[in-house]
Chain A
């Protein structure tokens, strides 16, 4: 079965809007979560991560929220730009060096001007 998944395969927003991409995970043992961005023809690019002892973490224009009660992870992108158009994956791992990342299926974000 799938350990990590995303609620919506696609999300279309207007430039300047805020975007919210959601992810559900099922492995209670996972304690490290990461969001990756993948542009066409490229490898996954790290965006932001969060440990299980936190419920919110902010970066530049991005915020990750973690709700361990319902095993839900979200990525918020503020003032979405056309350059944000990509596939976004959440991934989970057990907090240990060298551990495999388990990826979800991905949400394609399309930003129109």
Chain B
């Protein structure tokens, strides 16, 4: 069964450093998403992406965040200057282009900012 993959599984970085989290969505999916989950809390939407553009973003997704689809398979989330409060699990998800949809989630990248 096709699945969303994410790398790395765990990323440790120092405050102020840039990080790039990588995702490979399911191949025939056209919508891509990033969510985050701070330890013990609910999953929070960050951004959705379609046709090489951001479709929707939350207030969490400020100027420090950016997304990119650099090629036909990868979808990345960049945090320009990490803060301690960026420590969380970051989940990538993808869905087909249809009105009723399932969003399939990857296993997540645990980001630890020290």
| Interface residue ranges, A against B (CB under 8 Å) | 32, 34, 36, 41-46, 49, 51, 89, 91, 95-106
Q: Is B106 a contact of A104 with CB atoms below 8 Å?
A: no
* Residue-wise interface mask of B (48-67) relative to A, using a CB-CB cutoff of 8 A (1 in contact, 0 not): 10100001101000000000
Q: Is B102 a contact of A99 with CB atoms below 8 Å?
A: no
Task: From the candidates B4, B35, B48, name the one contacting A99 in the complex (CB within 8 A).
Answer: B48
15 further A-B pairs in the complex, CB-CB below 8 A; given A43-B4, A43-B93, A44-B43: A34-B103, A41-B107, A42-B108, A43-B106, A46-B102, A89-B42, A95-B100, A97-B98, A98-B31, A98-B55, A99-B48, A102-B45, A103-B44, A103-B45, A104-B42
| Interface residue ranges, B against A (CB under 8 Å) | 4, 31, 33, 35, 41-45, 48, 50, 55-56, 58, 91, 93, 95, 97-108
A65–B44 Cα distance when bound, in Å, is 24
For A2, the closest partner residue in chain B by CB is B42
Distance of A101 from chain B, by nearest CB (Å) = 6
Known: A104-B42, A106-B42. A44 touches B105 (CB 8 A): yes
The residues of A that contact B91 with a CB separation of less than 8 Å are 43-44
The residues of B that contact A49 with a CB separation of less than 8 Å are 100, 102
Known: A32-B100, A99-B56. A43 touches B105 (CB 8 A): yes
Q: Is B95 a contact of A97 with CB atoms below 8 Å?
A: yes
Q: Can you sample 28 A-B contacts with CB below 8 Å? A: A42-B107, A42-B108, A43-B91, A43-B107, A44-B91, A44-B105, A45-B105, A46-B102, A46-B103, A49-B102, A89-B43, A91-B43, A95-B99, A95-B100, A96-B99, A97-B31, A97-B95, A97-B99, A98-B50, A98-B55, A98-B56, A99-B48, A99-B56, A101-B35, A101-B43, A101-B45, A103-B42, A103-B45
